[in-house]
Structure formats: C-alpha cells, structure tokens
C-alpha cells in the first residue's frame, strides 16, 4: 500500500463562530466553538479518511495542546515518527469564523517548529511514496528543511502547498520547496502571488517541469494541469458554514485519490467534493469519509 508522510506541523485550533470580526477594543460572544487538532492535521486527516495510509513526521511537544494533537493523530491511525522530547507545548491558532463562513486567524508557534536537521535526517522517508509539505514549514525551517528537501529521494513524490505564506513573502520565500516539488496545490490568491496569472494559466505555469499542479478556486472548484492546458473541475454547490480547512481537505483528498490510482482530473473532482463537504461543517479538520464523497457525487450526477 502507498504511504503518505505529512511534514507540515500539527497544531491546535481554538475556533469561535461570530457574526462578524470585533473592532479594536470590542468584545463579542461566540455562537459556537470548537477546540481540536488543526494545521498539518487537516490534510493528514483528509488523506486518511479517504483511504490513504499516513504518518506524521513533524514534532510533538509536551503539554495540553500537544496531548490534544497526539490523541487526534492516534484516533486517525496516524503514527508519530518523532519522539516527544520537546519541553514546549504545541502551537495553536485562534480562529474566528464569520457568518459568511470566512475565517481569520492568529498563529502562536510552538513545538511543531522545533525540528533540527538531525531530526529530519532520521526520518525513514524512503519508506514512503508521497510526502506533503506546507509553505510555513518550508520557510520556518529555513536551511533545515531546504537540506532535507534536497536529500529527498526521487522515489518520493512531494506535494507542496505554498499556503498563505505565498501572499506574504512571494515566490522567493518558497523557491527551494518549489524546485523539488513534483506537485503544487495552491488557492487562486497564492497562485497569483507566485505567477501573476489567473487560475487556469497559473495552473499551467506551476505545472511546468513537474508532474502537475492544482489551483483551487473556492466554490468554483479547481484547475488541474499536467503538462498541457489546464482543465477545469467544477465545484459542488453547498451552503458553507466554515471555510477553515477547506483547502487542506482538498489537498489531502487529491493526494489520496492519486495514491489510489485515479487520474488527475478524477482526483480533482474527488477533492472538490471533499472540500465542499468540509465547508458545511464547523471546525478545521472536517474532511469527510470516502463514502460521504461518493454519496455527494452520486447525488450530483
């Protein structure tokens, strides 16, 4: 069975549903709240729930947030490959989800950023067929992750998700990861920051020299390119509750579908359904099961 190694840091999401964002100095009361594993856990869970065998290669610390993350990984059947020896708790995100399902967040780093070059070098990466890396991890790790990427065996397919970091630092900040990436998955804003192009052309540009690229376009679905003109995969109309984790659900489900032998176009449609279901649920790690996706796709057809 193909295996996926998730290298993006797992953190805790402290999520609150609010009518709107507060103005400076104002207090609001949330209508709902969730506390659970997020960050790199979201895509990992999406891949696991849609059939992939997964493991976590990032760091887990010690403390209540780290315990939440460890329990969530265990519940998904995802082994943790690093020993829990960091004398710091896991990082967390304070997430506010507005009534229109848009989310804003503030990230506080923790033990997930404590990997050393020796930690990364000790990972049994050759035992895996795929690995997933997000932009924050790639840049925060600086030369540590860069050296690891340079040493990553070509037998391991790397999916790189630039994340909103591409909007902050641009292409130069993620160039080393992009050089090694076999696949890139970005939302339309990230893709524009990297290429200056609209989704279809951005997908084609990001696919050059790689196996392919996906540009996610929210409710519209996505564009997927594999060495030729980008093909549109339409989205699924749903009533969105929370957009947090939708891109992660898409990435994880897309990789799981490719690992199962689906062609990229079919994998894109599969991932669109996964993301559509995820946004109907409050919380970040809300990716569906393969059976849920099959039901949605069957209903649409």
**22: how many CB neighbours lie within 10 A of its CB?**
11
CATH classification number, 3-20+32-300, choose in 3.40.1190.20, 2.30.40.10, 3.40.50.2300, 3.60.9.10: 3.40.1190.20
Q: Give the confidence band of 299 by pLDDT, cuts at 50, 70, 90.
A: low
Contact 296, 232 (CB under 8 A): no
Instruction: Give tens-digit pLDDT for 26-58.
Output: 999 999 999 999 999 999 999 999 999 999 999
What mean pLDDT is reported for the chain?
93
What pTM was computed for the model? 0.95
Q: Give the confidence band of 73 by pLDDT, cuts at 50, 70, 90.
A: very high
Question: Structure tokens of 182?
Answer: 């076999």
Contacts 24+ apart (CB under 8 A), 143-146: 143/117, 144/115, 144/116, 144/117, 144/120, 145/7, 145/120, 145/176, 145/177, 146/176, 146/177
Instruction: Give tens-digit pLDDT for 135-160.
Output: 888 776 556 788 899 999 999 999 99
Predicted confidence at residue 300, as pLDDT, reads: 64
Instruction: Give tens-digit pLDDT for 2-11.
Output: 799 999 999 9
Extents of the domains making up the chain: 3-20+32-300
Contact 92, 63 (CB under 8 A): no
Predicted confidence at residue 40, as pLDDT, reads: 95
Predicted confidence at residue 289, as pLDDT, reads: 94
* Residue 252 CB contacts under 8 Å (≥ 6 apart), including other chains: 42, 43, 44, 45, 46, 47, 48, 50, 52, 132, 274, 287
Q: Give the confidence band of 169 by pLDDT, cuts at 50, 70, 90.
A: confident
Burial class (CB in 10 A: 0-12, 13-18, 19+), 252: buried
Strands 10-17 and 32-39: antiparallel
Residue 16 has pLDDT above 60, yes or no: yes
Predicted confidence at residue 165, as pLDDT, reads: 79
Q: What DSSP designation does 220 have? A: G
Tokens 């909007």 sit on residue = 167
């Amino acid at each position: 069975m193909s295996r996926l190694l998730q290298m993006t840091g797992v953190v805790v999401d402290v999520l609150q549903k609010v009518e709107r964002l507060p103005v400076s100095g104002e207090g609001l009361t949330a209508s709902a709240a969730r506390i659970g594993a997020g960050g790199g856990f979201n895509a990992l869970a999406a891949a696991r729930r849609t059939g992939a065998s997964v493991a976590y290669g990032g760091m887990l610390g010690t403390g209540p947030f780290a315990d939440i993350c460890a329990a969530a990984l265990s519940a998904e059947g995802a082994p943790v490959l690093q020993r829990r020896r960091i004398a710091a708790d896991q990082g967390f995100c304070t997430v506010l989800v507005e009534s229109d399902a848009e989310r804003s967040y503030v990230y506080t780093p923790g033990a997930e950023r404590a990997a050393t070059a020796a930690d990364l070098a000790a990972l049994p990466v050759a035992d895996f067929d795929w690995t997933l890396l997000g932009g924050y991890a790639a840049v925060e790790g600086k030369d540590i992750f860069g050296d690891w990427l340079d040493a990553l065996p070509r037998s391991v397919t790397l999916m790189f998700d630039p994340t909103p970091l591409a909007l902050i630092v641009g292409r130069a900040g993620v160039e080393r990861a992009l050089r090694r990436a076999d696949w890139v998955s970005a939302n339309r804003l990230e893709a524009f920051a990297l290429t200056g192009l609209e989704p279809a052309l951005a997908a084609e540009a990001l696919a050059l020299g790689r196996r392919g690229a996906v540009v996610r376009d929210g409710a519209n679905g996505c564009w997927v390119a594999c060495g030729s003109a980008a093909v549109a995969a339409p989205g699924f109309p749903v009533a969105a509750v929370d957009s947090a984790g939708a891109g992660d659900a898409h990435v994880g489900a897309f990789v799981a579908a490719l690992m199962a032998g689906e062609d990229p176009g079919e994998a894109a449609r599969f991932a669109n359904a996964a993301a559509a279901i995820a946004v109907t649920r409050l919380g970040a790690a809300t990716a569906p099961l393969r059976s849920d996706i099959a039901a949605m796709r069957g209903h649409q057809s």
